[in-house]
Chain A
Amino acid sequence: MDFRLTEEQQELRNAVRDYLAGEHGPEVLRRRDAQREPDDAVWSGLVGMGLAGLLVPEAQGGLGLGLIEAALVAVELGRANVSEPIADTALIAAPLLSPAEQEKVAAGTLKIALAHPINPWIADLGTADLLYTSGGTTVPPVAKALTGIDPLRSLFAPVFSTEDDNLLNRAALISAAQMLGGAEAMLAISTEYAKTREQFGQAIGSFQAIKHHLATVAVKVEFARPVVLRAAYAAEHGHARTAVAISHAKVAATDAAMLAAETAIQVHGAMGYTYEVDLHFWMKRAWALAGAWGDRAFHLRRIEAAVIGRGMTIGPDTVFASELNNA
């Protein structure tokens, strides 16, 4: 039992964090927002970091890593609010593709959009090379473009009909990790703002009311993190309780991200309600991902079915159990 990241995992996380902090600041988000189109330079940079091939086997030119690493990278993508379809393509779809497709993903020449009945809309279909559904990949259908809350995430109304829990679970996990990273970023942005913004002759962060708002967010974030990591671990190791762990992660990360977003607005005052500060990009991504891949009600129902319906045990010797007694 060792609930810590390995040195390799920490190095990967730090390398991605440093890279994104340097190359993917708010100016990228603003440029992307003005253009409303994918940014080839950003995509090349992510591919150059090896992120496209993170989960692709080494034989296909990838790094051959697993879901824990994917979750760690997703947290960083969320922190930097990356908008290229890297999470969908590389972290969710890649292991589900054919070797030939994986090779192209690792090389950065194949972008994937994802379709599942849980989502009424498909993200980034317009720029995808292939659409993944439970039956495999197909050519993206012609679809109607919609306007969503997040200006950096394009949505399309599609036509399909099959269920795929594996896809749903992978995607819910990765979006939970992205929201965790986003929540951390919003807490950091708000904290920084509270240190510099002055009212009544002093930094607003010295006021107890502001402190308590931010501390409450810190608690929510801190206790969502191990839940997300445990879900990644359970998925990686094929635990029978993976679906519930992922639903828990999605709920915990969503709650943390929503609270972080609402608190961030409050701390920023009227500035938070403008395009002048960069906060809105993270906030809108949180709102978008909160409803994607199963909303809170959907995941609560999955938890309820296991906990109240099937009597899933808690605690003693089940925290990391690989088997669910009554599954």
Chain B
Amino acid sequence: MDLTYTPEQQVFRAEVRAWMAANVPKTPLKTLEGQEGFEQHVAWERTLAEGNWGMVTWPEAYGGRGLDLIRWLIFEEEYWRAGAPLRANQNGIFLLGPTIMEYGTDEQKARFLTPMASGEKMWAQAWSEPNAGSDMAAIRSRAVRDGDHYVISGQKTWSSRAAFADWCFGLFRTEEGSKRHKGLSFILLPLDTPGVTIRPIRQLHGETGFAEIFFDEVRVPVENRIAGEGEGWNVAMATAGFERGLMLRSPARFQAMAARLVDLYRAHAATASTQAHEAVLQAWMDAEAYALNTYSVAATVMAGGHIGAEASLNKIFWSEMDRAAHRAAMSLLGASAELAQLPDGGPNIWQEGYIFSLSGPIYAGSNEIQRNIIAERLLGLPR
């Protein structure tokens, strides 16, 4: 065990810190769940890419820097320490990107990865269907082969950012009459293709980050399929693993949140309840524990180890930590918690964060599903 940073890692940290200090927007962006905020975030994605920080772990050939996971963690620490915005292209860079890296052809990598890292093409996911959330295999949308095209018909829902994004990726039934996870293919398509209709869904906070996508005989070239026809389920499972695991939920984001929560506590210590007091300490401890666990996993992966169902432990931990910390913040704010603008004039980021944190235990596979995975695959309990 060597829990020190090398001189090279320290130099890298200083480089990131300097760049972030010079480039991170001074005023917070509007929420990326709304059109205006999303566009602000896209502009930030492009600024990042100009500094060549779009996706630091990717190969240089695809707009990355080829960094290892420890340097990725350091990058993230400096990113969140500087108060940089959420990544609006997270569906692309954290989910689809790694999927293409693992299953895509060289041509697909060249075609999709660079514009993804640069923020030129923003991505939405099109997985869930009406009446099929946690039961992800209950897919009815079909893609019928017609020469060198698929003709897609059906409907997707809960598609994050579909109202604003350029492209989407999803699972479609390419084998007529196939059941469940068989006969599915993983297909990418531009959202401005004729036959695509998008209907925004208003979320709890009033923004329209969600959408339904309707496909009416949408023609998509066969070369937009990732991996073989009918192999979509395995590809999607890998994508889901990325979603639960390391890359989407970097520890530094929660550490930055815990640090802000401690500040909030200091400002409200006189009126804080004992529960809120303890919850603040718990959030601090949990954020640290999450970071330590991630370093441990990163070291294992870098040494050639593989993470599988362990990602489910991760997903439960960060989502429940996030919700508890935001609940504590709402409690500390007391009557001000309901205000959209806090008395000091700033936006009530805790309220927005609290509402968002409620979705954590649902998306990326509900925590109930994760607990089943842990019990069956890690503990070996019978199905």
Inter-chain contacts of B262 with A (CB < 8 A): 307-308, 311, 314
Question: Which of A49-57, A96-104, A216-224, A274-282 binds B?
Answer: A216-224
Q: Is B158 an interface residue (CB 8 A)?
A: no
Residue contact B317 to A223, C-beta cutoff 8 Å: yes
Residue contact B295 to A319, C-beta cutoff 8 Å: yes
Interface residues in B343-383 (C-beta closer than 8 Å to A): 368, 370-372, 374-376, 378-383
Q: Is A138 an interface residue (CB 8 A)?
A: no
Known: A300-B281, A308-B262. A1 touches B313 (CB 8 A): no
Partner of B9, one of A1, A210, A300, A307: A1
User: How many A residues touch the partner, as a band?
Assistant: 35 or more
Q: A1-19 vs B: 1/0 string, CB under 8 Å?
A: 1111110010000000000
Residue contact A219 to B316, C-beta cutoff 8 Å: yes
Partner of B317, one of A191, A205, A219, A316: A219
- Say how far A120's CB is from chain B's closest CB, in angstroms: 24
Q: Is A313 an interface residue (CB 8 A)?
A: yes
- Say how far B17's CB is from chain A's closest CB, in angstroms: 8
Q: Which of B77, B293, B368, B376 has the most CB of A within 10 A?
A: B293
- Say how far B152's CB is from chain A's closest CB, in angstroms: 35
Q: Is A75 an interface residue (CB 8 A)?
A: no
Alpha-carbon separation in the docked complex, A191 to B265 (Å): 40
Chain B residue nearest to A203 in the complex (CB): B382
Q: Is A163 an interface residue (CB 8 A)?
A: no
Q: Is A243 an interface residue (CB 8 A)?
A: no
Alpha-carbon separation in the docked complex, A303 to B298 (Å): 27
Inter-chain contacts of B313 with A (CB < 8 A): 218-219, 222-223
Partner of A314, one of B6, B287, B299, B381: B287
Question: Which of A22-30, A151-159, A226-234, A284-292 binds B?
Answer: A226-234
Inter-chain contacts of A39 with B (CB < 8 A): none
Interface residues in B240-273 (C-beta closer than 8 Å to A): 251-252, 255-256, 258-259, 262, 265-266, 269
Residue contact B382 to A195, C-beta cutoff 8 Å: yes
Chain A residue nearest to B77 in the complex (CB): A316
Q: Is B106 an interface residue (CB 8 A)?
A: no
Residue contact B289 to A226, C-beta cutoff 8 Å: yes
Alpha-carbon separation in the docked complex, A215 to B378 (Å): 9
Q: Is A304 an interface residue (CB 8 A)?
A: yes
Alpha-carbon separation in the docked complex, A202 to B382 (Å): 9
Residue contact A1 to B6, C-beta cutoff 8 Å: yes
Q: A175-214 vs B: 1/0 string, CB under 8 Å?
A: 0000000000001000100110000001101101011101
Q: Is B218 an interface residue (CB 8 A)?
A: no
Known: A1-B2, A315-B256, A316-B255. A222 touches B281 (CB 8 A): no
Q: Is A248 an interface residue (CB 8 A)?
A: yes
Alpha-carbon separation in the docked complex, A208 to B378 (Å): 15
Inter-chain contacts of A230 with B (CB < 8 A): 3, 292
Residue contact A212 to B368, C-beta cutoff 8 Å: yes
Chain A residue nearest to B379 in the complex (CB): A191
Residue contact A215 to B370, C-beta cutoff 8 Å: yes
Residue contact B281 to A307, C-beta cutoff 8 Å: yes
Alpha-carbon separation in the docked complex, A92 to B321 (Å): 33
Chain A residue nearest to B81 in the complex (CB): A316
Alpha-carbon separation in the docked complex, A320 to B81 (Å): 16
Inter-chain contacts of A93 with B (CB < 8 A): none
Alpha-carbon separation in the docked complex, A6 to B278 (Å): 36
Q: Which of A3, A5, A194, A205 has the most CB of B within 10 A?
A: A3
Q: Is B150 an interface residue (CB 8 A)?
A: no
Residue contact A226 to B1, C-beta cutoff 8 Å: no
Q: Is A125 an interface residue (CB 8 A)?
A: no
Chain B residue nearest to A309 in the complex (CB): B266
Q: Is B4 an interface residue (CB 8 A)?
A: yes
Alpha-carbon separation in the docked complex, A83 to B379 (Å): 28
Known: A304-B281, A316-B80. A2 touches B379 (CB 8 A): no
Alpha-carbon separation in the docked complex, A222 to B314 (Å): 9
Chain B residue nearest to A248 in the complex (CB): B285
- Say how far B328's CB is from chain A's closest CB, in angstroms: 13
Residue contact A215 to B3, C-beta cutoff 8 Å: no
Q: B159-172 vs A: 1/0 string, CB under 8 Å?
A: 00000000000000
Residue contact B259 to A314, C-beta cutoff 8 Å: yes
Partner of B77, one of A5, A237, A317: A317
Q: Is B39 an interface residue (CB 8 A)?
A: no
Residue contact A314 to B258, C-beta cutoff 8 Å: yes
Residue contact A315 to B381, C-beta cutoff 8 Å: no
Inter-chain contacts of B284 with A (CB < 8 A): 303, 307, 314
Residue contact B295 to A315, C-beta cutoff 8 Å: no
- Say how far A267's CB is from chain B's closest CB, in angstroms: 11
Residue contact B293 to A226, C-beta cutoff 8 Å: yes
- Say how far B285's CB is from chain A's closest CB, in angstroms: 5
Residue contact B3 to A222, C-beta cutoff 8 Å: no
Inter-chain contacts of B281 with A (CB < 8 A): 300, 303-304, 307-308
- Say how far A210's CB is from chain B's closest CB, in angstroms: 8
- Say how far A309's CB is from chain B's closest CB, in angstroms: 10
Q: Is B78 an interface residue (CB 8 A)?
A: yes
Q: Which of B2, B256, B313, B375 has the most CB of A within 10 A?
A: B375
Residue contact B77 to A3, C-beta cutoff 8 Å: no
Known: A195-B380, A315-B255. A205 touches B1 (CB 8 A): no
Q: Is A251 an interface residue (CB 8 A)?
A: yes
Alpha-carbon separation in the docked complex, A53 to B249 (Å): 43
Q: Is B296 an interface residue (CB 8 A)?
A: yes
Residue contact B293 to A2, C-beta cutoff 8 Å: no
Chain A residue nearest to B286 in the complex (CB): A223
Residue contact A195 to B381, C-beta cutoff 8 Å: yes
Q: Is A322 an interface residue (CB 8 A)?
A: yes
List chain A positions with a Cβ less than 8 A from chain B: 1-6, 9, 68, 187, 191, 194-195, 202-203, 205-206, 208, 210-212, 214-216, 218-219, 222-227, 229-230, 233, 237, 248, 251-252, 300, 303-304, 307-308, 311, 313-317, 319-320, 322
Excluding A4-B296, A68-B1, A222-B293, 10 further A-B contacts by CB distance (< 8 Å) are A1-B5, A2-B3, A6-B1, A191-B379, A208-B371, A226-B295, A251-B285, A303-B285, A308-B281, A319-B291
Q: Offer 14 A-B interface pairs, CB within 8 angstroms, sorted by A.
A: A1-B2, A1-B70, A2-B1, A3-B299, A9-B1, A222-B310, A223-B289, A226-B292, A227-B285, A229-B1, A248-B285, A308-B262, A315-B256, A315-B259
- A-B pairs, top 3 by smallest CB distance, nearest first, are A315-B255, A211-B375, A316-B81
